[in-house]
Structure 1
Amino acid sequence: MHKTQFSAAAALVFFGTISLTSCNRDNESQPAQLTQTQEARAEEAYPGQTGETKTGEFSGSPITYQEINGEKVYEGDILLTAEQVAAAQGQQRPGSAGRTTGRWPSAVVYYTIDAALPSQNRVTDAIAHWQANSPIRFVQRTTQSNYVTFRVGSGCSSNIGMVGGRQYVNLASGCTTGNTIHEIGHALGLFHEQTRTDRDNYVTILTQNIQSGYEGNFTKYSALGYSGTDFGVLDFGSIMMYGSFSFSSNGQPTIVKKDGSTFNIQRTGLSAGDKSGIDAMY
């Protein structure tokens, strides 16, 4: 939100090429109710499904995404609107990992929870976690035109940033509170940590082990023509980061540290770096 400084150029751009985390510190203690009893997994909009690979433009830059069940799926669990994929002539290139024009005004997110969504405590606990660890505030929607609805989905997915009108965070029965915290991060404008432009300084991507059709989940922003300066250092503990075995086709790692060691996916709560990053954005 406000206490981390970054360049004026990065502050003025539309979308980001950088991770919104500032350090590689250990995670701070999280509330007991956020402890997961099952192994954390990377989020997917449509688990086990791939679609036709398509190209378009995202904020005026080239992008590759998959068309699955009529949805434009980017990085596995980010749902893009037709307007976001369309060419955006005359707009500035991205230089920050979060949307600046797609931020929620005054850091207030209006929301509803679909009555059909089971285990609604996943949503309320995730909201409580965000409110306890950031200036973001969630207010139940009355007549506001821009808001998020949490509803049943085929997997875990969300739009990126405030897109205007009603948008969704989709949660299948297997989506945990930690997955919900992750998806809210997307709704606030955060991208995945492993797609930072400087990630090759910290990790090696083992493309030969990635499931077919999921290669785009590991593409750097710079490879898509984005420019910008990464914010801080890569945060292995970020709730927006994949684990070493995410989307593996053969049980072998898809991401390793530069020394070849593996690391676990973290879906318990926001890391210290996540908190600093969202502070810089809002």
Structure 2
Amino acid sequence: MANLVFALSTGFLGIIFIILTSDNQPLLAAGQQTQTNFSFGWEDEYFYFLFQERSWPDGLIWFDVDPTFSPRVKTAINYAINYINNHPDLCIKWLQRYPYRFDSNSSSLVSFINYNDTSRTTCNSWINRRGGQQFIKLGINCVKDKLLITDKVLLVEAMVLHEMGHTMGLVHEQTRPDRDCYIYVSPFLATRSGYKRNPSFAYTSQFPYDYRSIMHYESYNLKNFRAHDNARKLGRGDPTLSELDVHRLSHLYCGRKSYCEEHNNCATLYDFAKTNPKCWRKGPVYATDPPFIELGSQEHGEEIDIKE
């Protein structure tokens, strides 16, 4: 029998104990399959191991709503909840608990809170399930900013759905380790919260880059943030999931095969990178051991730093 090593990893998914074999590979549970590498070489088993530890059991997410929200925001929350609950290709259900209260004894609960973001606009949430009561903060000024954009009447609903995406385990698409093959992020933005590349274990490599994901920021300044292909738009701006968003959630919670499994292989998706001068050819630094990260906060907008 192989010698076992116990490792501790802390990060946006919380504190995780990982059992390693003598060759520094995660020990998989009975029946758990090792995922195949399809793209730039990151180890998918790290992602699936961590996701399994912090996903929502049976896809059930209990939540409550701060009663001090304006009717407009309550409508947006109801829209996003109903959108997920009634989606024909998803098995995730958000179930409301009454009454709204702070509950230190709750094992897993999501609270939408009317956040007084006086210092800066704040709309954020935790990635996946952290245990206990966790929050989706919808800041007063953050909501006000969305309402000022009059050409997109459902932008508040889209923002709520984006934050719920984080709660269900989705990470910003523009922070994927291979993002530079698809988009340009200026040095000015590249180290800022929400734009800094995340480590590979935050993503499965079995899905192509999704320009139109609800988790992708839109481009408001082409000088600093844009797709290499000028014909492509970034983000959505409407309160719906992209086709790949749905596929990813269905894969993670509902037993659907990944994009690469359904299409047999993803290798051809990355052939262009061999000759594309705009692609980040150095590639991310992939650790042979599970990466250790250090966070000041585990909310989705905070930076993640690899600790070698």
Q: Mark the CA change 1:125 to 1:98 in structure 2 (over 3 Å): closer, same or farther.
A: farther
> Which runs of no fewer than 5 residues in structure 2 stay unpaired?
1-7, 20-25, 27-44, 99-104, 147-155, 254-308
| Cα distance between partner residues in 1 of 2:67 and 2:113 | 8
Partner secondary structure for residue 95 of structure 1: helix
Aligned mate of 1:200, from 175, 180, 187: 180
Spell out the pairing of 1:182-221 with structure 2 (5 A cutoff).
Answer: 182-208=162-188, 210=189, 215-221=192-198
Aligned mate of 1:172, from 118, 135, 139: 139
Aligned mate of 1:242, from 217, 225, 235: 217
Kindly indicate whether residue 234 of structure 2 is the aligned counterpart of residue 280 of structure 1: no
| Cα distance between partner residues in 2 of 1:129 and 1:98 | 27
| Cα distance between partner residues in 2 of 1:140 and 1:228 | 29
Partner secondary structure for residue 46 of structure 2: coil
Q: Mark the CA change 1:199 to 1:131 in structure 2 (over 3 Å): closer, same or farther.
A: same
Partner secondary structure for residue 78 of structure 2: helix
Partner secondary structure for residue 267 of structure 1: coil
Structure 1 position 196, deviation (Å): 1.6
Equivalent pair of 2:106/2:133 in contact (CA under 8 Å): no
Kindly indicate whether residue 76 of structure 2 is the aligned counterpart of residue 122 of structure 1: yes
Aligned position for 2:227: 257
Q: Which contiguous aligned blocks of 4+ residues in structure 1 show a shift greater than 4 angstroms?
A: 225-229
Structure 1 position 226, deviation (Å): 4.3
Q: Report the residue type matching 1:234 in the other structure.
A: Y
Q: Mark the CA change 1:190 to 1:226 in structure 2 (over 3 Å): closer, same or farther.
A: closer
Once the two structures are superposed, what CA deviation does each residue of 1:239-263 show, in whole Å capped at 9, x if it has no partner?
A: 0001223xxxxx5533222245663
Spell out the pairing of 1:140-159 with structure 2 (5 A cutoff).
Answer: 140-141=96-97, 145-153=107-115, 154=117, 155-159=122-126
Equivalent pair of 1:150/1:168 in contact (CA under 8 Å): yes
Aligned position for 1:232: 207
Once the two structures are superposed, what CA deviation does each residue of 1:153-208 show, in whole Å capped at 9, x if it has no partner?
A: 22211111111111111112416111000001111111011122222222222223
Q: CA RMSD in A?
A: 3.0
Q: Report the residue type matching 2:175 in the other structure.
A: T
| Cα distance between partner residues in 2 of 1:272 and 1:206 | 28
Spell out the pairing of 1:30-179 with structure 2 (5 A cutoff).
Answer: 60=9, 84=14, 88=16, 90=18, 94-95=46-47, 99-119=51-71, 120-133=74-87, 134-141=90-97, 145-153=107-115, 154=117, 155-173=122-140, 174=143, 176-179=156-159
Structure 1 position 273, deviation (Å): 0.9
| Cα distance between partner residues in 1 of 2:48 and 2:56 | 16
Structure 1 position 102, deviation (Å): 1.0
Quote the sequence identity (%).
Answer: 23
Partner secondary structure for residue 113 of structure 2: strand
Equivalent pair of 2:80/2:161 in contact (CA under 8 Å): yes
> Which runs of no fewer than 5 residues in structure 1 stay unpaired?
1-58, 64-79, 246-250
TM-score normalised by the chain length of structure 2? 0.55
Equivalent pair of 1:237/1:266 in contact (CA under 8 Å): yes
Structure 1 position 98, deviation (Å): 7.9
Equivalent pair of 1:161/1:186 in contact (CA under 8 Å): yes
Partner secondary structure for residue 106 of structure 1: helix
| Cα distance between partner residues in 2 of 1:139 and 1:227 | 26
Equivalent pair of 2:185/2:225 in contact (CA under 8 Å): yes
Structure 1 position 280, deviation (Å): 0.9
Q: Report the residue type matching 2:137 in the other structure.
A: N
| Cα distance between partner residues in 1 of 2:249 and 2:169 | 9
> Which one is further off, 92-101 or 134-143?
92-101
| Cα distance between partner residues in 1 of 2:17 and 2:60 | 29
Once the two structures are superposed, what CA deviation does each residue of 1:208-242 show, in whole Å capped at 9, x if it has no partner?
A: 3x29xx624222234xx748752221111100001
- Corresponding pairs, count: 193
Q: Mark the CA change 1:277 to 1:106 in structure 2 (over 3 Å): closer, same or farther.
A: same
Q: Which has the larger radius of gyration?
A: 2
Equivalent pair of 2:66/2:112 in contact (CA under 8 Å): yes
Structure with more contact order per residue of length (Cα contacts < 8 Å, sep ≥ 6): 1
